[in-house]
A and B are shown apart, each in its own frame.
Chain A
Amino acid sequence: MNAGHDDRLGAVTQDLHTVLERKLGDLLGQVQAAQSLARQVQSADDDIARRTSLAQQLRDGGHGEHADDLDREVQALSALRANQVDDLAKLVSDLHG
């Protein structure tokens, strides 16, 4: 009788640990995905700022044609960043439940 209870208790405990692993793993995965996206957004911000600054310097130096190229790159990066921010907001919202 006691042995049966112990077996049952052990099985339930094992199942609970499995559930905990999966659930915490899912949660941690969501957090890690959000962290990755946040880093991408930060990187995009840096790229945009760098290109914007460089474009301004080119304009000041009379190389407006190259500055226009950089402006296009900034637009592309901004579009990409907007998508990343949307994804990040969705993930964070999911995390908050």
Chain B
Amino acid sequence: MAEAIDQVMAELEAAAAAIRARGSMSLSPAGMLRLERRAVEVARALLDGEALPEDGTDELLSVEAEVAPAQEDQRPLGDDVFGEAPFDETPTGDFAADAAAAVAAVGVVGAVVATAGDVANDYEEEDVFDEATVINASGDATPNVSWEDAQTFVTEEDSEIPLEFVESSGAPAASGEEILYVVEDPPRADVEEDGTDDPSDAGLVSFTEGTEPSYITFEEPAEEAEVEEPAPVEPAPVAVDDSLYVFHDEVPVGGISDADLALGSEDLLDEDEEVTLGSIPRPAAAAARLPEDDADEPSFSDVGEDALVTIGEEGDDVLGDLDEANVGVETFDLMPDGSEDDPVLEDDEEVTLVSGIVDDDDDIPEVDIDDADDEVMVDDSRGAGVHAQLATGRPAAPSPRVTAGLYGNPSVPTIREGNDPVPKAAAVQLNSAGGGRMLGLEEEEEPIELGSVGDYGEDEEEYEGGDGLSIAIQEYDEEEEEEEEYEEEELELDPEPVAPPPPRGPTLEEIQAIFDRAQAAAHSGALQDAADLYSDVVDADPDHLDAHVGRGRLYLDLGDYSRAMSDFMVAEEIDESSPEPQVAIGDLYFHRKDYRKAIDYFDTALKMAPNHAMAFCRRGISHYYRKNYREALGDLEKANSLDPDIPNIASFISMAKRKAKSRK
């Protein structure tokens, strides 16, 4: 139904535009202004259910009919001179064939654009084609005719032969044929004057130096512009650092930290390319230290959804697809760009970094987690690592300060939070099995747990890297548990909380006060304020009949018939024996000039309340507008007898009397 209304709206819009266009063709601006005013009057009358206002043109038309000569039927709008020409064959795209088919279909020489002489003269002035195809009466096309030969054919054979199509070809045409049409081949419209090829021009009508089209052609579908794909950019080999590296096609393309760690620049990696995170054997002294920034090395910032990231010694351990691992491509950024990025990790995510560092002695050194910016993102939702940020991933949190001197050993670094004078941790201690812990922290405070991959359930099955170092970050799980425990304790301490008192609604007196204010606002003309106050009353007492009727009448005055009808219907439901909703609905139809329906509702109201003065009055006026003056007069006099204070009742009575008398 909505589509049908939309269709009607579109058609009406087009009709209005057509009417205005037709009027502007013949009428002066002042006449157009009068036309618009007339339209407004007519529209208003129609919407009010009244007859169209007299236009006074019948007399004029009758006079004109006497003096105006009979006119032929005009051709309908939009029906051009070629409307009935059998050119409806679908073009094949072959100009010569299409032109020949068109010629054969037409069968006459006249229905063309211009005569040969005209065309020849025009073309003499502007040489618009070099070669042409000559088409004879049977529709056979002779291609490859030069313009001079075609012009000769035209001028020698029949100067009145019209030209319709022109197409360039190769060899000259044989003379002596009867020429009907010359079809020009469109010049290379897609080649610009400067020799550049603009694919957007393909198949379009070209123009000469001026603005006139130089030929007429079927519009061919524009060919798709061939976009030359840029040559794939191979990642430039970079110097191998002695740390973790990201591999692309078995070529190390960057370190695991800082700028080197960025994975997947779009122009460097395709979606399905495999990116591996591996390691280069390196000296043990630098084994656990993440590489420093190196702006000279290429960096990556993104990978496609399906980029496969593996982490392991050999770089072939499949740990998961990014899209399945629920890692947003946009956030898949290993660049340590400080606090500007959103936190990558959720609180409950477990983050694992697996490195393929190989140490000949199997002696894993301490990892100095001293740089909050070291970022290794790992999504552990599938037990698969991608990369993780060794810091908590909360950019707002102050970075711990690293000091020295815990446990009496100045060589052991400590970690302090902010300006906390008490160090929170001393160092990260790793054991030979790959596990580890933060020194100096209480167990519940320890944010980072170090351990082998095998310590973490699902990882064990998927991870095949073997002896690598693994770092796991478990963030705030224990804190949450602690909070839950705290809440439980609170509940125990206060087992029977006092229920808040139920919201107290307004009393009947308060509702009546609001209703009185609404009535006062309505009388003062503040219709919207009054409607809002009525709404307050309805909210407090949904069954308040007078509030529904009052608000509906306000909506009626505001022209919102839908809301008004809604309120009246609700009021009718509230009290089916009350005449007020019936009178109100009758008033609504009265406003809409639907007097017949209005009278029906007033009848119903009067059955319920036979002495309802306003119902009599409204019904009388409705009868008046329906030109039932006798019934109108009876109702109005009855209303006047019941309530002489009805505004203008005397005027209505006198009007009805006059009309009733004139009817007699």
Contact = CB atoms under 8 A, between A and B. Distances in A.
A28 B40 CA distance: 8
Interface string B36-58: 11111111111100001001110
Given A33-B42, A41-B5, A73 B19 contact: no
Interface in A18-39: 18-39
A23 B12 contact: no
Interface in B304-326: none
B46 A29 contact: yes
B565 interface: yes
Contact of A31 (B15, B35, B61, B594): B15
Contacts of A72: 566, 569-570, 573
A26 B53 CA distance: 9
B1 A45 contact: yes
Interface string A46-79: 0100000000000000000000010011011101
B43 A36 contact: yes
Given A17-B31, A34-B12, A77 B39 contact: no
Query: Which of A16, A21, A41, A95 has most chain B Cβ within 10 Å?
Result: A21
A25 B40 CA distance: 8
Interface string B82-94: 0000000000000
Given A12-B64, A38-B12, A80 B39 contact: no
A27 B43 contact: no
Contact of B566 (A30, A39, A77): A77
Nearest to A43: B562
Contacts of B52: 26, 29
B147 interface: no
Interface stretch (B21-29, B128-136, B181-189, B360-368): B21-29
B108 interface: no
Interface residues of B, number: 52
B306 to A, nearest CB: 39
B34 A47 contact: no
B570 A69 contact: yes
Contact of B27 (A21, A69, A75): A21
Nearest to A48: B562
A63 to B, nearest CB: 12
B63 interface: yes
Contacts of A17: 26-28, 31
Contacts of B347: none
Contacts of B26: 17, 20
B60 interface: yes
Contacts of B13: 35
B35 A28 contact: yes
B9 interface: yes
Contacts of B562: 43-44, 47, 76-77, 80
B566 A73 contact: yes
Given A19-B64, A41-B5, A45-B5, A79 B565 contact: yes
Contact of A32 (B16, B28, B565, B573): B16
A25 B34 contact: yes
Nearest to B22: A24
Interface residues of A, number: 45
A83 B9 contact: no
A80 B556 CA distance: 13
A9 to B, nearest CB: 10
Contacts of A41: 5
Nearest to B594: A83
Contacts of A80: 561-562, 565
B8 A34 contact: yes
Contact of A69 (B16, B37, B542): B542
B12 A35 contact: yes
A19 B60 contact: yes
Contacts of A29: 38-43, 45-46, 52
A83 to B, nearest CB: 7
B552 to A, nearest CB: 10
Contacts of B45: 29
Contacts of B9: 35, 38-39, 42
A23 B54 CA distance: 11
Contacts of B34: 21, 25
Nearest to A35: B12
Nearest to B8: A38
Query: Which of B46, B565, B569, B592 has most chain A Cβ within 10 Å?
Result: B46
A90 B35 CA distance: 23
A73 B566 CA distance: 5
A24 B573 contact: no
B2 interface: yes
Query: Which of B2, B12, B31, B573 has most chain A Cβ within 10 Å?
Result: B12
A37 B47 contact: yes
A43 B562 CA distance: 9
Contacts of B31: 17, 20-21
A6 B49 CA distance: 43
B580 to A, nearest CB: 16
B627 interface: no
A45 B40 contact: no
B568 interface: yes
Query: Which of A25, A35, A42 has most chain B Cβ within 10 Å?
Result: A25
B2 A45 contact: yes
25 contacts: A15-B64, A17-B26, A19-B57, A19-B60, A20-B26, A20-B27, A23-B57, A24-B22, A26-B39, A27-B19, A28-B39, A29-B39, A30-B42, A31-B15, A33-B42, A33-B46, A36-B47, A38-B8, A38-B12, A43-B562, A44-B562, A45-B5, A73-B570, A79-B565, A95-B15
Given A22-B38, A42-B2, 17 more contacts: A17-B31, A19-B60, A20-B26, A21-B27, A22-B55, A25-B36, A25-B55, A29-B45, A30-B46, A31-B16, A33-B44, A34-B12, A41-B5, A43-B562, A72-B566, A72-B570, A75-B569
